Amino acid sequence: MVTEDFKAVEYTDGCLKLIDQRQLPAKLEYVMCRTSEEVATAIRSMIVRGAPAIGGAAGYGVYLALKESGRNADLFHKLCLSLRSARPTAVNLMWAVDRVMKAAEDSGFNAETVLVEARKIEAEDIAMNHQLSEIGVSVLRHGDTILTHCNAGALATCGWGTAIGVIKEAHCRGMDIKVFADETRPLLQGSRLTAWELQRFGVSVTLIPDSAAATLIRDGRIDAVILGADRIAANGDTANKLGTFMLSVIAKAYGVPFYSVAPTSTIDFNTASGEFIPIEERAADEVRKIAGISIAPEDIKVYNPAFDVTPHENITGIITEKGIIYPPFDLNIERIRKGEKL
């Protein structure tokens, strides 16, 4: 199996080793987290980011919380709550914390069992990403040009990636896939992370300012828009990086297929539709400055939501490890919830 030569999330030698994604592409540096609060801070400050990656990291955070709290259940719950609320939109975070907390409670707070559960989340995420990538290549044809947004690659997951996983799988099969990567203002996950990751993997990638996407789509230069997801509601409405909604509107207007790619751990069966998905708002200085340099008046008012919601009507299909979910999304997502085949 082809893999990456780096890992965004890894538990080794008694601590959580994370790539410091704020430093890429200039430096490939690691941050070691020895306490659950260090893991929560790493998630908040986006040392680690991407829905499945923060879920994977938080799983180990729960293990660290258990070790720190000994048999003090109140302290354990407090530390887990801090992890769970580090960022509000990606449901993988809450899903992973709840899953590892349950393993703790069911095992009578057995540390070994809890570590095994955290490791399972990491291993399952990598396996799901390979499965959904193999399924996802079926929507592509030889020579296709893909537009992607933000980073849904190995850096955003425990390994391999979702949307970028599909692209890499197609590349490995010799399908001559080309990619346009949106730079993804304001934190530039597209230029700093996706461009780095795809170039390193040998995929032909061209970086564009976000606002060039509409022209490329209108001019017939994009065969499909393929990107990740942070939370998929029960009706198929999907939260992803800010700018995704705008791309979906343009893709729909010009008849270009639009695919969200995510493991089923990103589906929130308890959220009926997109209007109920909490959208994180981040600091004004992320927009006012780049790398510490002011690019706007110091005190200018800023609106900086980190995500937006794409209505399910704009989505062609949602590629998961269990198959591709097509409309009617509500009925097909319900089939996944019930464990039925798509």
The residue whose two tokens read 């410091």 is 20
Position among 36, 162, 191, 271 found at the interface with ligand MRU (CB under 6 A): 162
Query: Which of residues 33 and 227 has its CB atom nearest to ligand MRU in the complex?
Result: 227
> Three-state DSSP class for 42?
helix
Position among 36, 69, 133, 189 found at the interface with ligand MRU (CB under 6 A): 189
Does 230 participate in catalysis according to the annotation?
A: yes
Query: Which of residues 22 and 335 has its CB atom nearest to ligand MRU in the complex?
Result: 22
State the catalytic residue, choosing from 230, 237, 268, 308.
Answer: 230
β-pair partners for 260: 227, 318
d(CA 326, CA 5): 34
Q: Does 238 bind ligand MRU (CB under 6 A)?
A: no
> Three-state DSSP class for 290?
strand
Neighbours of 59 (CB within 10 A): 33
- Asked if 33 and 65 count as a contact pair (C-beta separation under 8 A), the reply is no
Which residues within the stretch 302-321 sit at the binding site for ligand MRU (CB under 6 A)?
Answer: 306
Query: Which of residues 222 and 309 has its CB atom nearest to ligand MRU in the complex?
Result: 309
Least distance to ligand MRU, CB of residue 164, Å: 8
d(CA 2, CA 242): 31
Query: Which of residues 69 and 240 has its CB atom nearest to ligand MRU in the complex?
Result: 240
Q: What angle do CA 155, 161, 166 make, to 5 degrees?
A: 145
The DSSP result for 178-195, as a single string, is EEEEE--TTTTHIIIIIH
Least distance to ligand MRU, CB of residue 49, Å: 3
Backbone angles phi, psi at 177, to 5 degrees: -85, 135
Position among 7, 33, 36, 49 found at the interface with ligand MRU (CB under 6 A): 49
Q: Does 323 bind ligand MRU (CB under 6 A)?
A: no
Position among 19, 24, 51, 80 found at the interface with ligand MRU (CB under 6 A): 51
Q: Per-residue x/- marks for ligand MRU, 245-284, CB under 6 A?
A: ----------------------------------------
Which residues within the stretch 192-231 sit at the binding site for ligand MRU (CB under 6 A)?
Answer: 227-230
d(CA 160, CA 153): 6
By CB under 6 A, how many residues form the interface with ligand MRU?
18
Give start and end residues of each alpha helix (H) in the chain.
36-44, 51-69, 73-84, 91-106, 111-136, 163-172, 189, 195-201, 213-218, 244-253, 285-288, 329-337
Query: Which of residues 52 and 274 has its CB atom nearest to ligand MRU in the complex?
Result: 52
The residues near 42 (Cβ < 8 Å, ≥ 6 apart) are 16, 18, 31, 33, 48, 57
- Asked if 196 and 25 count as a contact pair (C-beta separation under 8 A), the reply is yes
Cis-peptide, bond into residue 25, ω within 30° of zero = yes
The residue whose two tokens read 């600091």 is 283
Least distance to ligand MRU, CB of residue 189, Å: 5
Least distance to ligand MRU, CB of residue 162, Å: 4
Residue nearest to ligand MRU (CB): 228
**Region at 35 (left for phi over 0; alpha for psi -120 to 50; beta for the rest):** beta
Which residues within the stretch 141-160 sit at the binding site for ligand MRU (CB under 6 A)?
Answer: 150, 152, 156-157
Position among 7, 42, 50, 170 found at the interface with ligand MRU (CB under 6 A): 50
Query: Which of residues 10 and 104 has its CB atom nearest to ligand MRU in the complex?
Result: 10
Position among 7, 24, 31, 52 found at the interface with ligand MRU (CB under 6 A): 52
Least distance to ligand MRU, CB of residue 224, Å: 16
Binding site for ligand MRU (CB under 6 A): 49-52, 90, 150, 152, 156-157, 162, 189, 227-230, 240-241, 306
> Among all residues, which ones are annotated catalytic?
230
